A and B are shown apart, each in its own frame.
Chain A
Amino acid sequence: MSNSFRTTNSTGLINKDKKINFTFNGTIYHGYEGDTLASALIANGVHLVGRSFKYHRPRGFLGVGVEEPNAMVQLHDGNKSEPNIIATEVELVEGLKAKSQNCWPSVQFDIGEINNVLNRFFPAGFYYKTFMWPKSFWMKIYEPFIRKAAGMGKAPLLPDPDRYEHNYEHCDVLVVGSGPSGLASALAAAKNGARVILAEDKPNFGGSLLTDEVTIGNMSGKEWASDTISQLKSMPNVILKKRSQVFGYYDHNMTVMIERVSDHIENPSKYTPRQRLHYIRAGEVIVSTGSIERPISFGNNDRPGIVLASAAKEYMKVYETLVGKKPIIFTNNDTAYSTALEFIKNDIEPIIVDTRDSSNGELVKEVQQKGISIKFNSGIADTKGHLKINSAIIGKLDSSKESFISEETVECDCICMSGGWTPTVHLSSQAGNKLKFNDDIDAFVPDKKRQKETAIGAANGSFTLNQSLAEGFQVGFDLSNKFTDQNNPTNSPNSNEPSYEKHEKLWCMPLPSGKKPKRFIDFQNDVAVSDVELAIREGFRSIEHVKRYTTLGMAGDQGKTSNLNGLQYVSKIEKKIVPEVGHTTFRPPYTPVTIGAIVGREVGNHYLPTRKSPIHTWHEENNAVFVAAGLWQRPRYYPRGSEDMNTAVNREAANVRKNVGICDVTTLGKIDIKGPDAPEFLNRVYTNAWLKLPVGKARYGVMLREDGMVFDDGTTSRLSENHFHMTTTTAQAANVLSHLEYYLQVVWPDLDVNVLSTTEQWSGIAVAGPKSRDLLSKLFPDVDMSNEGLPFMGLVDSSIDGIKARIYRISFSGELAYEVNVESNYGLYIWKKIMEEGQSFDIQPYGTEALSTLRIEMGHVAGAELDGRTIPFDVGLNSMVSQKKDFIGKRSLSKDAFTESDRQTIVGLVPLDKKTKIPEGSHIIEDNSAVAPIPKLGHVSSSCWSVEYNNPFSIAIIKDGKNKIGKNLYAVSPLKDISIPVEVVSSHYVDPEGSRVRS
């Protein structure tokens, strides 16, 4: 039985000297190098691959490539497991494991097949109709059932172990598809000097030239293809990519291509990616994607063993494999006769059924000359064979071709059908091309292009070799000439091919007498002719609606073999011509793409860039627990021994209040501002006055958006007459810079000011606490650190060990505090120096949690309060708003809603029990026993454990806040089912006079 369906010739592309073992549904088989999983299974006589999506009908192979709707398998085990893989696209590799999906307990005996018996209960739209009622059944009964029944393969639950990469490419001309027209255009464009990328989905270049009996020049088509590829390979301006599918065509000629790099290699090296996603920005795209054969709808046309005629031919010619030994060829056109001839070459006599009355095509005559009689004016009415076709009922058509006159049963083991050819217009359509219907070929072809895209060859409806080559050479030259000045055209060689007679416009067979078997149109979604009839009977007219109601063309194969047959059938029932019915929209991806490839290397720690301060290693060595602040990693706290977070944070914060703490504030945004108009610019950007800030002084500033909401805050200092140093919050650093650039470049270009981010040039170290002055005096003996020498909001330049340092006397903690700034590379050195000298002052590092605690206690606002919904008044910053000058956003502040006195404003909250910490985000309400919906007064923005008073403290923003001070309210969190009685206090909980910072 092993490989008993191999042909005896060896003219294909497989290597019979190299056996490859693989497993399908637990059975070990072998195939050969060059096989696909599909060809190897067929060679071993295996046609039953899976069960269909809705009715669980046994299914086999229909096609040989991307068009395959049926043969989906689950590949591999464990973390490499991958569902819904088309067996025709899987190259055989030693040890490959595949199994059927959507069946239980096995593909031979599948319980779900009951759906097929019950199929009259599962018509089109059955989800919409059946599962709507009763409502309560949806969650518990229908939904779980549908999920289970409608499953295809199983997604793996483990992380994907494979590596995927992204690549960006640019070229003058991208050629998609390497059939005759693609090769011709790539050669012409490359010879004319253009930078060319040629992409081919299959493992071999050549397209139809690999299977068609034609000659080009003095070579066979296959030889010409390989000769052309050799020429292209030798040219430095050409990139050749096989196993590469261009699946998406986006704006401005951006195409995306997926390359299968290592799945076909037995033991790829560890760092070889599995797949590579190429973003190709092409000057011009040539769509030479060929065409896909159309099936014919007839009774039970989905049994394993029923394949496309072109697929049967390719299995024979490329994979040296027979889809069957007792074939029926069923066609409405001439091309299927080449499949018949290929069988004859292998000493197999096919039965030929042709819907047409006659044909004088060359291939038809050749078949007849070999003594084969053809059943013209006939069609297949029905088929038999449960898990594999074993016979067909062939009927003689009446003159109207609407019914059969007589029927006969004929034994067979396969049917090779052909309903003609559909140009693969997906990429052109994705590119915005308005397709037109071509009556000669009964299919849509590209017409009005929106982007720089040109379809040629079969994709353009040009089905002869002669025409394909001529178009290829011409278009390749014309388009490349836009990019080069070589003006070097390549002539199209002579070619020879058989002539074809016209196809018949017949894609759906009448029903056999007395029976109503399903005649499938869309195999993957189990959509039959009767479903389309039902949809139209129920009033769906738009083709988009018919598509959604029946799910025709909506499966993973995107209707590659079904769209046009569906359209044709709708137009037949509606008695309209196809262009009136129109077509549905093609969207990327043309073929399914793994999520891994889309994500690429941006996984795990590479998901986002990580920013670390120059002091990061010290934090790591000192047991810091880190927290992400945007892209930055900041120390959250530094636990000692077995301390939990709260204990550590309280210790760190209390030590700042009592002794001295040190905090890495490198992450704060820093912007250098220079120019004669810098003071005027700051005066417009900030709400307060800046013109008279003396050199050597810092000032706190608040900036608004034009809508009046607080945008950011920070201190900015004047280093010299026209030179300022601005700091921003860590979170808004990038946005503030863009904001400043916007006003300087767009709104006030007359201002002579330059801004530059210096965030990464400076390392910032906050030294805070009552002992900070003594510590810094020791570190900088030549600086007068007294309150007079370096007052609050003053700054001074000095140095340690020859390293320049700038010392600002500013405070976020509310304590006497300084910020030492040094050039980034010295950050770690200075930090260590301060720690060393600080030991005698009981210095401790503190992280972002303690930093928060300190600022919350003081009532200093931060991101939680400046959340884009608060104006200065709301957050207690009204004193920062100048009445004398205009600034960004000022006009908004005088709008009615912004001047109401009972706006939500900032207050402090203390729980009455002095114990329960109030969750951030809690709602504030007045009456805990009121009936819902209870009016909400505001929300809790920040919470901490006050180290000063040793009880919880929160900042909240509540309606008419100032007048609520002293009142008892409730902080509630319905999510956590918490209700905490609280007292409203001032948000300035500690040192409301601000005496410490000035001490």
Chain B
Amino acid sequence: MLEIKCPYCGKRSQNEFSYGGDATIKRPQLGEEISTEDWDNFVYYRDNPRGKHSELWHHVSGCRQWFKVSRDTATHEIFDTCKMNEDFNV
């Protein structure tokens, strides 16, 4: 079980959180003209990297804040966590 540092609450066990996928995905603007291919890339296609990955987690059994985690998908090492409007330090 991972130990994740919520930027609002501090370190908590993984079972308080839910995973939210790739944090680098940007939703297209509302009303934006967008090709089907670009839209599909946004909706469906995700990289599946081995190694460092920026991802979203939701402190669902805690403060209910979404935040960013930089994690190694192979070793589970967590390099850094930060609020949505912040950038990783590491």
Which residues of A sit under 8 angstroms from B60, Cβ to Cβ?
738
Q: List 29 A-B contacts (CB under 8 A).
A: A251-B1, A251-B2, A251-B76, A252-B1, A252-B3, A253-B3, A281-B13, A432-B75, A450-B75, A707-B44, A741-B58, A741-B66, A742-B20, A742-B58, A742-B66, A745-B65, A745-B66, A745-B84, A746-B20, A746-B56, A749-B84, A749-B85, A885-B31, A886-B30, A891-B28, A891-B34, A892-B39, A892-B43, A895-B39
Task: Report the minimal beta-carbon distance from A611 to chain B, rounded to whole angstroms.
Answer: 15
| A684 on the B face (CB < 8 A) | yes
Complex: chain B residue closest to A279, CB-CB: B1
Q: Are A254 and B66 in contact, with the CB atoms below 8 A?
A: no
Interface of B is mostly: loop
Question: How far does the alpha carbon of A250 sit from the alpha carbon of B13 in the complex, in Å?
Answer: 12
Given contacts A742-B20, A749-B85, contact A684 B3 (CB under 8 A): no
User: Is B36's beta carbon under 8 Å from chain A?
Assistant: yes
- Contacts A450-B75, A745-B84 known; 5 new A-B pairs at CB < 8 A: A737-B64, A749-B85, A885-B31, A886-B31, A891-B28
Chain B, range 30-69, C-beta contacts under 8 Å to A: 30-31, 34, 36, 39, 42-44, 56, 58, 60, 64-66
Chain A: which residue is nearest B20 at the CB level?
Answer: A742
Contact B20 A254 (CB under 8 A): no
Chain A residues near B1 (CB-CB < 8 A) = 250-252, 254, 279
Collect the chain A residues with CB atoms within 8 Å of residue B73's CB: none
Closest to A747 in B: B27
Alpha-carbon gap, A886 to B75, bound state (A)? 41
Binary A-proximity of B1-24 (CB < 8 A = 1, otherwise 0): 111000000000100001010000
Nearest CB in chain B: distance from A480 CB, A: 19
Residue of A nearest to B42 (CB): A706
B86 to chain A, nearest CB (A): 12
Residues from chain B with Cβ under 8 Å of A279 in the complex: 1
A887-B30 Cα distance, complex, nearest whole Å: 7
* Minimum C-beta distance from B28 to chain A (A): 7
1/0 per residue, CB under 8 A from B, across A57-85: the answer is 00000000000000000000000000000
Residues of A within 8 A of B64 (CB): 737, 741
A155-198 contacts to B (CB < 8 Å): none
B31 nearest in chain A by CB position: A886
What's the Cα separation between A887 and B56 when bound, in Å?
22
B31 / chain A contacts, CB cutoff of 8 Å: 885-886
Interface of chain A residues 273 through 324 with chain B (CB within 8 A)? 279, 281
Nearest Cβ on chain A to B66's Cβ, whole angstroms? 4
Q: Residue-by-residue, is A859-889 near B (CB-CB < 8 Å gives 1, otherwise 0)? A: 0000000000000000000000000011100
Q: Which residues of A contact B20 (CB under 8 A)?
A: 742, 746
Q: A742-B66, A749-B84, A891-B34 are in contact. Are A707 and B43 (CB under 8 A)?
A: yes
Residues B58 and A738 in contact, CB atoms below 8 Å apart = yes
Return A758 CB to nearest CB of chain B, in Å: 14
* Chain A residues closer than 8 Å to B34, beta-carbon distance: 891
* CB of A589 to closest CB in B, whole Å: 15
As a 0/1 sequence over residues 62 to 90 of chain B, the CB contacts with chain A under 8 angstroms (1 = contact) are: 00111000000001101000001100000
Category for how many chain A residues contact B:
20 to 34
Q: Are B66 and A252 in contact (CB under 8 A)?
A: no
8 A Cβ contacts from A538-580 to B: none
CA–CA, A450 to B58, complex, Å? Answer: 26
Residue ID in chain B nearest A755 by CB atoms? B64
Minimum Cβ distance to chain A for residue B25 (Å): 10
What is the bound-complex CA distance between A65 and B74, given in angstroms? Answer: 35
* B3 x A281 contact (CB < 8 A): yes
A402 CB to nearest chain B CB (Å): 45
Residues of A within 8 A of B28 (CB): 891
Task: Name the residue on B nearest A708 (C-beta).
Answer: B43
The 6 closest A-B pairs by CB, nearest first: A252-B3, A886-B30, A745-B66, A886-B31, A251-B76, A254-B1
Cα-based distance from A896 to B40 in the complex (angstroms): 12
How far, in angstroms, from A886 to B30 measured CA to CA in the complex? 6
Q: Are B30 and A684 in contact (CB under 8 A)?
A: yes
B76, A891: Cβ atoms closer than 8 Å: no
A252 B2 Cβ-Cβ under 8 A: yes
Contacts of A706 in B (CB 8 A): 27, 42-43
Query: CB-nearest residue of chain A relative to B3?
Result: A252
In the complex the two chains form, what is the Cα distance from A885 to B30 in whole Å? Answer: 9
Closest to A254 in B: B1
B66 / chain A contacts, CB cutoff of 8 Å: 741-742, 745-746
Taken together as a complex, chains A and B put the C-alpha atoms of A283 and B83 apart, in Å, by 25
Interface residues of A in 883-907 (CB under 8 A from B): 885-887, 891-892, 895-896
The CA of A281 and the CA of B4, in the complex, are separated in Å by 12
B30 to A, closest residue via Cβ: A886
Q: In the complex, what residues of B have CB within 8 A of residue A281's CB?
A: 3, 13
What is the bound-complex CA distance between A450 and B44, given in angstroms?
A: 34
- Which residues of chain B are near A885, meaning CB under 8 Å? 31
In whole angstroms, how far apart are the Cα atoms of A425 and B85 in the complex? 44
Contacts of A707 in B (CB 8 A): 43-44
Interface centre among A250, A450, A706, A891 (most CB of B within 10 A): A891
Kindly state the separation between the CA atoms of A745 and B20 in the bound complex, as whole angstroms.
12
CB of A922, distance to nearest CB on chain B (Å): 31
What is the CA–CA distance of A885 and B34 in the complex, to the nearest angstrom? 15
List chain A residues, Cβ under 8 A from B75.
Answer: 432, 450
Q: How far is the CA of A684 from the CA of B78 in the complex (A)?
A: 34
CB-based nearest A residue for B4: A252
**Contact with B84, one of A252, A684, A746 (Cβ below 8 angstroms):** A746
Is there contact, CB below 8 Å, between B2 and A738?
A: no
Cα separation A254 to B28 with both chains bound (whole Å): 40
- Report Cα–Cα, A974/B14, bound state, in Å: 44
How far does the Cβ of A55 sit from chain B's closest Cβ, in whole Å? 41
When distances are taken between beta carbons in the complex, the residues of chain B under 8 Å from A892 are: 39, 43
Could you tell me the distance between the alpha carbons of A735 and B17 in the complex, rounded to whole angstroms? 13
The docked-state distance in angstroms from the alpha carbon of A252 to that of B31 is 44
Give the complex CA separation of A896 and B85 in angstroms: 37
- Of B3, B18, B36, which is within 8 A of A895 by CB? B36
Binary contact track A245-286/B, C-beta < 8 Å → 1, others 0: 000001111100000000000000000000000010100000
**In the complex, what's the smallest C-beta–C-beta distance from A298 to chain B, in angstroms?**
43
Chain A residue nearest to B68 (CB atoms) is A746
- How far is it, in angstroms, between the C-alpha of A737 and the C-alpha of B66 when the chains are bound? 12
Which residues does chain B contribute within 8 Å of A251, judged by CB atoms? 1-2, 76
Contacts of B3 in A (CB 8 A): 252-254, 281
Distance in angstroms between the alpha carbons of A450 and B2 in the assembled complex = 14
Residues on A with beta carbons closer than 8 Å to the beta carbon of B36:
895-896
Residues of chain B within 8 A (CB-CB) of A746 are 20, 56, 66, 84
Cα A723 to Cα B43 with chains together (Å): 31
Name which residue of chain A comes closest to B77, CB basis: A450
Give the contacting residue for A891; candidates B39, B44, B58, B85; CB below 8 A.
B39
A450 surroundings in chain B (CB, below 8 A)? 75
Chain B residues with CB under 8 Å of A250's CB are 1
Tell me the bound Cα distance from A742 to B76 in angstroms.
24
Q: Bound state CA distance, A707 and B20, in angstroms?
A: 16
Taken together as a complex, chains A and B put the C-alpha atoms of A887 and B28 apart, in Å, by: 11
Q: How far is the CA of A896 from the CA of B27 in the complex (A)?
A: 21
